[in-house]
Amino acid sequence: MITDWKQLLRSTKQAYPLLLDNHPKLAKAQFQLSEAVSSTACLSSKECELIALAVAVTTQCDSCIASHISKAVSAGVTAKEISESLGIAILCNAQTTFFYAQQVVEIFGQFADDNNSSSDASSETDLALQGLINYLRDGTKQNEAITPKLGTLIALAVAVTKQCDISIKKYVAEAKSQGITWQELTTTLGVAIQLNAGATTVYSVKVADAFNMMKGS
């Protein structure tokens, strides 16, 4: 076992008062956000947890991952459902990087003195990166445990978290073509908002904990 995730989650929860006890309005806002998301949800708890895990991985929040794995297990999520959801998260994160990598190559071409050589480099880079994206996309097409609609909602949550306009437009178009409802969309966005706020709070708690330790030394 590399990490004791249950202990990590306990330690994070124990450290929360260091921040929230000194900022009661923030604590109240966190509670109200959680209540708002859960009270308006039109997706199952299992679907919400799969979306949450994809966002937690994208924010690289270890405590968020532990928390939502615990909730996912309680909701009856299977290992295959988690694997397929995370496959979509990996694809979406790679696609976002690909889009911005293309911009880097384009910008380089505009600033480089030798436009011909930069154009050749651009073509080679695009082919290599597109090959990786296609490989990941082919993998997600084999999904069996999660539906295409849930896959699109997961992708949208990741796109919002990555703040990638191109990905957002792509997956909104997919959502409309799949008949995803406004309520399903807003529930997904609510989960994404809650997770992004939660990840920031977790790292703020770590700052408060580190400050408290240094103050005492």
> Would you kindly state where each structural domain of the chain is located, as residue ranges?
45-140+150-211
Q: What is the pLDDT along the chain (217 residues), one digit of tens a residue?
A: 678 999 999 998 888 888 888 888 888 888 888 888 877 778 999 999 999 999 999 999 999 999 999 999 999 999 999 999 999 999 899 888 888 877 877 787 778 765 555 555 556 666 666 676 676 677 677 778 899 999 999 999 999 999 999 999 999 999 999 999 999 999 999 999 999 999 999 999 889 888 888 876 5
Q: How many CB atoms lie within 10 A of CB 23?
A: 13
As assigned by CATH, the class of the 45-140+150-211 domain is mainly alpha
Measured in degrees and rounded to the nearest 5, phi and psi for residue 42 equal -115, 10
From the list 150, 33, 32, 43, the residue with the least C-alpha distance to 88 is 150
**The pLDDT of residue 20:** 84
The rounded distance, in Å, linking the Cα atoms of 78 and 145 is 9
Which pLDDT score is estimated for 36? 83
